[in-house]
């Protein structure tokens, strides 16, 4: 029955499925950027920062115009993406600290990663770029389902190789010393010579070249355009008309990612596997406009918010031959759906219950319903919750309630709370029900750096 269901999905539109085997397990690539603004891709209307490489994904497939992530900052958002589950269900509710001696500071071992599950299906798996799921040896990528790792463990990193002066993470003395460590290839430190974004693109293309004859899963987690704002002249010179230095550097950093995406798509085509590879592109959260000069327009808010500018992100995917090209899909979807989609196509069962859905039937037209009746968010520290249903979005905390007709008011400019009491009551009921499924954080977060260090005076000692 499972094979018959999968066959029906693949053949749901015969015009898009004529040249492939319905039973091939497709490769899966996730391309994730860090702190990229909603408006800073061509497929969302950017003219100031051309992104022809990234836009190829949208032209070849679908743009999710209401595409969300599960949190408004990077650590919890990435935990949700990598597990397919609301991260509050397993206590990953804060940005983890750099604490290499703490086996609890990161993704709990109770959770399967997407790497774990895809390996069970026979896939070769890789993480390239930013990890941020824990620095303790038991929490690192090679112990969490990934055959290959090239990147760094902390929440951010310098881009210029000459700045990478720490031989290993055990030389760190502060939270942000992690930005200065040499990169890891699996468990060994390496000497990188290229601009960091270019290095990650190089490694991604190499991984595909070496593994294209069998199913693979690659999580390409760029740290651009996250601070520090650093770019090479190659990319800066493309934007002579941008006078604001921060915005110019940001544009250059996005352009570097775009070059890498373009080269990766070229490699898929060169190897003849582009029609058997799902490629997802999204940002881990909205742009922090003051920190990196990103642009979230027409959305309200920015990174850290539960306004749309914090959680609605540029989000596109392609699967040539199955998902129709040039498609725009406006029903709400979330990053958690990527995991569910991949494991459904790989025909493998995860041990934990997932919160996402397989998107393919919705994109081929087999399923005309809504992927989700509700989507949820929690900010534990602020005691703030948000819920999105088809036509409404509500944000509530101890001081305020905001209710928006989100389909008509994408900029969240009109608060309907005082005039829509029945709708508020219904949404509050749904949130209260969801609260029963989540738990308190299992580790201290980035905002508690000093307090954590006082409680753990040997945090960085050998």
* Residue pLDDT, tens place only, 160-181: 999 999 999 888 899 999 999 9
Kindly report the number of other CB atoms within 10 A of residue 65's CB atom: 18
pLDDT at position 5 is 44
Residues in the chain with pLDDT < 50? 1-23
Cα dihedral sign, 19-43-85-196: positive
Pairing of strands 67-68, 124-130: unpaired
Annotated catalytic residue: which of 74, 212, 226, 372?
74
- Residue 27's H or E segment, with its range, is strand 27-33
The neighbouring-strand residues paired with 126 are 148, 218
Q: How far apart are CA 399 and CA 383, in angstroms?
A: 10
Domain definitions of the chain by residue range? 2-364, 381-439
Handedness of CA 33, 39, 40, 43 (dihedral sign): positive
Kindly report the number of other CB atoms within 10 A of residue 305's CB atom: 23
Q: What is the mean pLDDT of the chain?
A: 94
| CA 229 – CA 241 distance, rounded (Å) | 18
What is the Cα–Cα distance from 445 to 284, expressed in whole angstroms? 18
In whole angstroms, what is the distance from residue 71 CA to residue 64 CA? 17
The yes-or-no answer on residue 136 being catalytic is no
**Structure tokens of 315?**
């989000």
Q: Quickly count: other Cβ atoms within 10 Å of residue 430's Cβ.
A: 15
Q: How many Å is the maximal CA-CA distance in the chain?
A: 63
- Select which of 132, 157, 212, 226 is catalytic: 132
Domain formed by 381-439, architecture: 2-Layer Sandwich (3.30)
Question: For the chain, what percent of residues have pLDDT higher than 70?
Answer: 95
Q: Identify whether 429 is a catalytic site residue.
A: no
pLDDT of residue 170: 83
What is the model's pLDDT at position 203? 98
- CATH architecture entry for 2-364: 3-Layer(aba) Sandwich (3.40)
Q: What is residue 12's predicted lDDT score, i.e. its pLDDT?
A: 41
User: What local confidence, expressed as pLDDT, does residue 462 receive?
Assistant: 64
**pLDDT recorded at residue 364:** 95
Pairing of strands 62-64, 315-318: antiparallel
- pLDDT tens-digit readout, 25-56: 999 999 999 999 999 999 999 999 999 999 99
Q: What is the pLDDT of residue 169?
A: 86
Cα–Cα distance measured from residue 29 to residue 279, given in angstroms and rounded to the nearest whole number: 5
What does the alpha-carbon distance between residue 112 and residue 105 come to, in Å, rounded to a whole number?
16
């Amino acid at each position: 029955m499972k094979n018959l269901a999968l066959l029906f999905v693949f053949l749901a539109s015969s015009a898009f499925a004529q040249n492939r085997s319905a039973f091939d397990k497709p490769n899966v690539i996730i391309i994730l950027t860090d702190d990229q603004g909603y408006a800073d891709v061509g497929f969302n209307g950017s003219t100031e920062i051309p992104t022809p490489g990234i836009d190829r994904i949208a032209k070849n497939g679908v743009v999710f115009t209401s595409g969300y992530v599960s949190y408004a900052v990077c650590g919890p958002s990435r935990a949700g993406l990598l597990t397919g589950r609301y991260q509050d269900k397993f206590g990953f509710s804060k940005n983890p600290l750099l604490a290499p001696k703490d086996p609890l500071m990161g993704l709990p071992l109770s959770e399967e990663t997407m790497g774990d599950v895809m390996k069970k299906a026979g896939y070769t798996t890789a993480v390239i770029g930013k990890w941020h799921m824990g620095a303790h040896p038991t929490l690192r990528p090679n112990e969490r389902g990934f055959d290959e790792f090239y990147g760094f463990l902390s929440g951010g990193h310098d881009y210029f190789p000459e700045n990478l002066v720490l031989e290993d993470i055990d030389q760190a003395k502060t939270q942000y010393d992690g930005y200065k460590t040499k990169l890891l290839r699996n468990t060994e430190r390496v000497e990188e010579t290229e601009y960091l974004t270019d290095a990650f693109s190089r490694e991604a293309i190499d991984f595909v070249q070496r593994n294209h004859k069998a199913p693979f899963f690659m999580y390409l987690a760029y740290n651009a355009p996250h601070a520090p704002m650093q770019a090479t002249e190659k990319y800066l010179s493309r934007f002579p008309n941008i006078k604001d230095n921060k915005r110019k550097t940001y544009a250059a950093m996005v352009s570097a990612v775009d070059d890498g995406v373009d080269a990766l798509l070229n490699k898929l085509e060169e190897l003849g596997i582009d029609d058997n590879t799902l490629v997802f592109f999204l940002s881990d959260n909205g742009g922090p406009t003051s920190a990196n000069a990103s642009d979230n327009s027409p959305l309200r808010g920015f990174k850290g918010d539960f306004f749309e500018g914090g959680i609605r992100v540029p989000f596109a995917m392609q699967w040539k031959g199955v998902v129709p090209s040039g498609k725009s899909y406006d029903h709400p979807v979330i990053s958690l759906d990527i995991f569910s989609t991949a494991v459904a196509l790989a025909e493998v069962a995860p041990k934990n219950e997932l919160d996402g859905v397989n998107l393919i039937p919705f994109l081929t037209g087999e399923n005309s319903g809504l992927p989700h009746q509700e989507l949820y968010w929690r900010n534990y520290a602020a005691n703030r919750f948000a819920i999105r249903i088809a036509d409404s979005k509500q944000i509530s905390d101890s001081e305020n309630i905001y209710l928006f007709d989100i389909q008509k008011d994408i900029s969240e400019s009109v608060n309907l709370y005082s005039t829509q009491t029945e709708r508020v009551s219904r949404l509050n009921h749904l949130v209260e029900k969801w609260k029963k499924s989540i738990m308190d954080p299992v580790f201290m977060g980035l905002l508690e750096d000093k307090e954590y260090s006082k409680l753990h005076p040997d945090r960085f000692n050998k």
